[in-house]
């Protein structure tokens, strides 16, 4: 029993960075933009989020933990949003190929993230880490002790770090926005058929820009969450590598729906760590490719079924040229 609870708990812990990465990319793809730079944006978010928390603590000599969390979120969001803004400008305004621009952003962003991470380490004398008190605000549960001590469900419901709850709230809000509001409808229309949306008077350019930039920011928060929770508040580029691509995979697995990312990310988190916890006669490296195999299966399956509501946004990956008719 304890084993199962621990597995689920750790699955959620390891899935949370993916949850943010995936939600951001889902929002982006809903507007018809396939931004393959998630890996880069998550790197940027991780490095700048850590930098924000670290320098805040250094300057104030302690400071408020809640403020540090907010600063880390803001820094990572901004870093990712700037990356996505470059992507948006080149693909939407300058109409370059989305795949190529996204890959360029992946290269650029991993470079920036790694550079900032290494540079901080050089400047600060070999080691960048925040104090244990501050770490607690990032890693411990925001709920009081007695709630967490409820047997069985206490840890599973109240025991997670603050980002898990923020992620769930964001997923619910995003699902409401996309499926239940006029703006969400406009956004989906933009992603499905920009020419139609344009003819209906929707400002396609604005929707594409906003969705991509905000989506990039949300994805980048995922990188920060990885560094501040799983990596223990130190720069760890090896651990972060691959998270962004996994997020791209998870978007497909969740069929572009924010609510699915809540359980989808936990499932992927479980697949990432399962080899440590569940011993089957399969080598651990084969375990680790399961998320990708599962994604391929979902991709193939949805294209076979041809169910309308499970398809990628119709114009995904295509630039929209109003003058091209």
Partner 1 sequence: MHNQRAPLFHLAKRTSLSPARAWTIRLASFVVAILIGGLIFLLLGDDPVSAYGAIITGSLGKKVAIRQTVKIAVPLLGTALAIAPCFKMRFWNIGAEGQITAGAIGATFFALNYYDKLPSPVLLIVMGLAGAVCGAFWAFIPAFFKARWGTNETLFTLMMNYIVIGLVKWLQGGPWEGKPGSQIIPNFASSAVLPKVFGIHCGWIIVLILTIFIYVYMRYSKHGYEIAVVGESENTARYAGMSVARITIRTMLLSGAISGLVGYMVASGANMTLYYSVADGVGFTAITVAWLAQLNPFAMIAISFLLAILDKGASTLQTVMNVPASISDIITGIFLFCMLASEFFINYRLVFRHDSGKEAVSE
* Interface ranges with partner 1 (CB under 8 A): 34, 36, 86, 89-90, 94-97, 99-101, 103-112, 114-115, 118-119, 122, 242, 245, 248-249, 252, 283, 285-286, 288-289, 292-293, 295-296, 299-300, 303-304, 312, 316-317, 323-324
Please write down the HEC assignment for all residues of 27-73: HHHHCCCCCCCHHHHHHHHHHHHHHHHHHHHHHHCCCCHHHHHHHHH
What burial letters (b/e) apply to 119-153, b meaning 16+ CB within 10 Å?
ebeeeeeeebebeeebbebbbebeeeeeebeeeee
Nearest distance, CB of residue 60 and partner 1, angstroms = 25
- Which positions ≥6 away from 47 have C-beta within 8 Å? 79, 112, 113, 114, 115, 116, 117, 120, 223, 227, 235
CB of 216 to partner 1, least distance (A): 15
Comparing CB distances to partner 1, the nearer of 142 and 242 is 242
Reduce the DSSP state of residue 314 to 3 states and report it. coil
In whole angstroms, how close is the CB of 321 to partner 1 at the nearest point?
9
Give whichever of 13 and 112 is closer to partner 1, judged by the CB atom: 112
Which DSSP symbol is given to 310? G
The least distance separating partner 1 from the CB of residue 139, rounded to whole angstroms, comes to 27
Tell the smallest beta-carbon distance from residue 102 to partner 1 (Å).
Answer: 9
Contact between residue 250 and residue 22 where contact means Cβ atoms under 8 Å apart:
yes
Write down the least CB distance from residue 118 to partner 1, Å.
Answer: 4
DSSP state of 78: H
- Quick one: 86 or 147, whose CB is closer to partner 1? 86
Q: Which residue number, 233 or 272, has a Cβ lying nearer to partner 1? A: 272
């Amino acid at each position: 029993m304890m084993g199962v609870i621990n597995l689920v708990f750790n699955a959620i812990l390891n899935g949370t960075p993916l949850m943010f990465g995936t939600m951001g990319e889902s929002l982006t793809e809903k507007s018809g933009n396939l931004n393959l730079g998630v890996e880069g944006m998550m790197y940027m978010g991780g490095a700048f989020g850590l930098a924000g928390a670290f320098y805040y603590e250094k300057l104030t000599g302690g400071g408020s933990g809640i403020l540090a969390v907010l600063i880390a979120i803001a820094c990572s969001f901004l870093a990712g949003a700037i990356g996505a803004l470059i992507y948006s400008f080149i693909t939407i305004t300058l109409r370059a190929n989305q795949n190529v621009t996204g890959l360029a952003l992946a290269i650029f962003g991993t470079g920036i993230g790694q550079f900032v991470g290494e540079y901080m380490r050089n400047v600060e004398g070999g080691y960048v880490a925040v104090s244990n008190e501050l770490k607690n605000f990032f890693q411990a549960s925001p709920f009081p002790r007695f709630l967490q001590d409820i047997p069985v469900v206490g840890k599973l419901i109240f025991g997670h770090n603050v980002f898990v709850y923020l992620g769930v709230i964001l997923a619910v809000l995003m699902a409401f926005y996309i499926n239940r509001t006029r703006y969400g409808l406009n956004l989906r229309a933009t992603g499905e058929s920009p020419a139609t949306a344009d003819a209906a008077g929707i400002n396609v350019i604005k929707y594409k820009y906003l969705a991509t930039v905000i989506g990039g920011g949300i994805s980048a928060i995922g990188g920060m969450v990885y560094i501040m929770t799983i990596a223990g508040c130190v720069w760890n580029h090896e651990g972060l590598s691959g998270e962004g691509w996994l997020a791209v995979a998870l978007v497909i697995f969740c069929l572009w729906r924010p609510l699915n990312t809540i359980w989808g990310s936990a499932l992927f988190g479980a697949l990432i760590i399962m080899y440590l916890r569940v011993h089957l006669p399969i080598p651990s490296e084969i375990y680790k490719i399961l998320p990708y195999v599962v994604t391929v299966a979902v991709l193939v399956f949805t294209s076979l079924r041809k169910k309308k509501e499970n398809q990628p946004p119709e114009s995904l990956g295509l630039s929209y040229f109003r003058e091209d008719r």
